[in-house]
RNA sequence: GUGAGCGUGGCGAAGGGGUUAACGCACCGGAUUGUGGAUCCGGCAUACGUGGGUUCGAUUCCCAUCGCUCACCCCA
């Protein structure tokens, strides 16, 4: 095998896809119950959209974009996240001119050029939603609840929601300036990572694992954003937590929580399981729509990683439920019966049964083993004796009983059996 | 981008400078004229990631490279 899949991509094989579709069903169901509607935007956009939307100093834009030139010389980028494209579509399609707020959800692949490791790959899948046109804290609570419920309804346990406010256009710049005033004179005393964080996203410094950095922050009495929120932001955060409590969502305040993208304002949160990477995260973005050329419109949304949810399910021993079982396996017990096998399989399929047969000219024993391996409900044997009498030997693989039926009545009789079994609740 | 570990048939896995590279699983055929499990017999497979070096000889030692895995940064 000389050509392998590109680094950081995965083949999703049938055996693994059961959990995926189980998860997707739950996500779509929860979104739709909450009156969200699906949106599908392009997998690639103009590079400029992400630079302006996500933020030009974020890791995503600085080193993780899959960008390329098309034949017309335009710079395009495989989408590294979902929000920017949805906001662009919202503005471009002028959906702001409507009376109701716009509740949208999406599910699909995203791309980031990173070193793969557990819970991280170059093509991965996110599900998420965006809501435009309301800034009431009860909406924040609804979206937080959705991000939590999708995972809990999927069956995951041990989930917590960490919530913080990163401030607004008023209090955040003030805090940042104040923080830098205190910290920059001591820049060399911080670790290399923190010195970089100072440039990019000083809030991150509170996350540093180095003890010296933490001690310095305390000694210098550097305020955390949550300590210096303006009155409106403070009030908003309290109202959000009040409503998530009404909804029974296990929220915890995390004054150190920061998100990596530039566009967040006020509420930011992550759904986590102890000892694992974040499963989903989101926040409010009240300036993003305007920054991308639309009218001042508040927005809020979250995105979760499908791979991470599925991996947690595996870790927690959740199963997807049985695959649909094969109804009939047609056994060709004699080479002369191939014509009949072909038409019997076709007849059964047209009658709505999942039917299959041997295509490798294997022995009868092998074919029966095959039927067993695939958990067929029935096998239908076509051999010399059946051909001579225009019949089919039909065996119920569960009970082991077998009968001889006229060839032309097989589908009909099976339908009767199936109806009867379903009536008995089997 | 930084650091660490690992690449032997479809899968798991032993070995180790020298004729035919174990073993287990899976699969196929037979014992059982045409029936699922077990047992026994037989069969099966283009297998030592790739390229170079050392050597009379390399799957084994050395170098490089590619890939995989994990951690850091960051994030879904």
Residue A425: how many CB atoms within 10 A of its CB? 5
Determine what percent of chain A is predicted with pLDDT higher than 70.
99
What are the tens digits of pLDDT across the range A294-349? 999 999 999 999 999 999 998 888 888 777 789 999 999 988 898 999 999 999 99
Supply the mean pLDDT for chain A. 92
Q: Of A119, A42, A114, whose CA–CA distance to A82 is shortest?
A: A42
Predicted pLDDT at A353: 95
- CA dist A291 and A287 (Å) reads 6
Burial of residue A216 (number of CB atoms within 10 Å: 0-12, 13-18, 19+): buried
pLDDT average, residue stretch A275-293: 93
How does DSSP classify residue A375? T
**What ipTM is given for this predicted complex?**
0.84
Protein-to-nucleotide distance from the CA of A199 to the C1' of B37, whole angstroms: 68
Q: Report if CB A336 to strand B is under 7 Å.
A: no
Question: Which nt sits closest to A125, CA to C1'?
Answer: B76
Regarding predicted confidence, which is higher, A248 or A185? A248
**Pair A253, A226: CB distance under 8 Å:** yes
A327 touches strand B (CB under 7 A): no
Q: Is strand B less than 7 A from the beta carbon of A81? A: yes
For strand B, list residues 128-187 of chain A whose Cβ lies within 7 Å of it. Answer: none
Q: Say if residue A426's pLDDT is above 60.
A: no
Q: Given 3.40.50.800, 1.20.1560.10, 3.40.50.300, 3.40.50.720, which CATH number is that of A328-423?
A: 3.40.50.800
Within 7 Å: CB of A108 and strand B?
no
User: CB–CB of A394/A383 below 8 Å?
Assistant: no
Q: Cβ of residue A117 near strand B, that is under 7 Å?
A: yes
> CB of A393 under 7 A from strand B?
yes
Q: How far apart are CA A349 and CA A357, in angstroms?
A: 12
pLDDT of residue A226: 87
State, as a whole number of angstroms, the distance between the CA of A412 and the C1' of B28.
Answer: 35
Residues of chain A with CATH 3.30.930.10: 14-170+230-315
> Would you state the pLDDT for residue A2?
65
List every span in chain A annotated with CATH 3.40.50.800. 328-423
Q: Does pLDDT of A267 surpass 60?
A: yes
Domain A14-170+230-315 CATH class label? alpha beta
Q: How far is the CA of A426 from the C1' of B67 (A)?
A: 49
The yes-or-no verdict on residue A423 having pLDDT over 80 is no
- Kindly state the greatest CA–CA separation across chain A: 97
Task: Give the CA-trace dihedral at A119, A124, A128, A132, to 10 degrees.
Answer: 120
> Which residues, in sequence order, are CB contacts of A163 under 8 Å at separation 6+?
A144, A237, A240, A241, A244, A251, A252, A253, A254, A257, A267, A268, A269
Compute the average pLDDT of residues A403-424: 90
Does the nearest atom of strand B lie within 7 Å of A1's Cβ? no
**Mean pLDDT (whole number) for A348-358:** 95
Give the span between the Cα atoms of A16 and A414, in whole angstroms.
Answer: 31
Query: Is the CB atom of residue A363 positioned under 7 angstroms from any atom of strand B?
Result: yes
pLDDT in tens, A239-251: 999 999 999 999 9
Averaged pLDDT for residues A236-261: 93
- Gap from A160 CA to B63 C1', in Å? 50
Residue A425 pLDDT level (bands cut at 50, 70, 90): low
Q: Where do the DSSP E strands lie in A364-413?
A: 378-382, 391-396, 402-406
């Amino acid at each position: 095998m000389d050509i392998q899949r590109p680094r950081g991509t995965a083949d999703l094989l049938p055996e693994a896809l059961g959990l995926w579709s189980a998860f997707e069903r739950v996500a779509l169901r929860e979104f739709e119950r909450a009156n969200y509607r699906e949106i599908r935007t392009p997998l690639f956009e103009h590079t400029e959209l992400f630079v302006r939307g996500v933020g030009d100093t974020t890791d995503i834009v600085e080193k993780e974009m899959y960008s390329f030139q098309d034949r017309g010389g335009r710079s395009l980028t495989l989408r590294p996240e979902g929000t920017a494209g949805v906001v662009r579509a919202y503005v471009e399609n002028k959906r702001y001119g409507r009376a109701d707020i716009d509740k949208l959800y999406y599910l699909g692949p995203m791309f980031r050029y990173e070193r793969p490791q557990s819970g991280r790959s170059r093509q991965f899948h996110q599900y998420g939603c965006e809501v435009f046109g309301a800034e009431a804290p009860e909406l924040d609570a609804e979206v937080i609840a959705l991000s939590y419920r999708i995972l809990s309804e999927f069956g995951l346990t041990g989930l917590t929601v960490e919530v913080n406010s990163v401030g607004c256009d008023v209090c955040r710049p003030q805090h940042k300036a104040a923080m830098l005033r205190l910290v920059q004179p001591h820049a060399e005393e911080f670790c290399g990572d923190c010195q970089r964080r100072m440039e990019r996203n000083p809030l991150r410094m509170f996350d540093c694992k180095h003890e010296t950095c933490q001690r310095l922050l305390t000694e210098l009495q550097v305020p955390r954003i949550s300590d210096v929120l303006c009155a409106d932001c403070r009030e908003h955060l309290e109202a959000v937590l009040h409503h998530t409590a009404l909804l029974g969502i296990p929220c915890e305040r995390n004054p150190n929580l920061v998100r990596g993208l530039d566009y967040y304002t006020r509420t930011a949160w992550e759904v986590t399981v102890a000892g694992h990477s974040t499963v989903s995260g989101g926040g409010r973005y009240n300036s993003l729509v305007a920054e991308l050329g639309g009218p001042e419109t508040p927005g809020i949304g979250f995105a979760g990683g499908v791979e991470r949810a599925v991996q947690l399910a595996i870790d927690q021993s959740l199963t997807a439920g049985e695959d649909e079982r094969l109804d009939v396996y047609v056994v060709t017990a004699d080479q002369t019966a191939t014509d009949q096998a072909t038409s019997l399989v076709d007849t059964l399929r047209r009658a709505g049964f999942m039917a299959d047969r041997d295509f490798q000219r294997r022995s009868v024993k092998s074919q029966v083993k095959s039927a067993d391996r695939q958990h067929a409900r029935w096998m239908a044997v076509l051999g010399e004796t059946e051909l001579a009498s225009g019949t089919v030997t039909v065996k119920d693989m569960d009970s082991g009983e077998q009968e001889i039926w006229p060839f032309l009545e097989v589908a009909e009789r099976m339908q009767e059996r199936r109806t009867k079994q379903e009536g008995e609740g089997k």
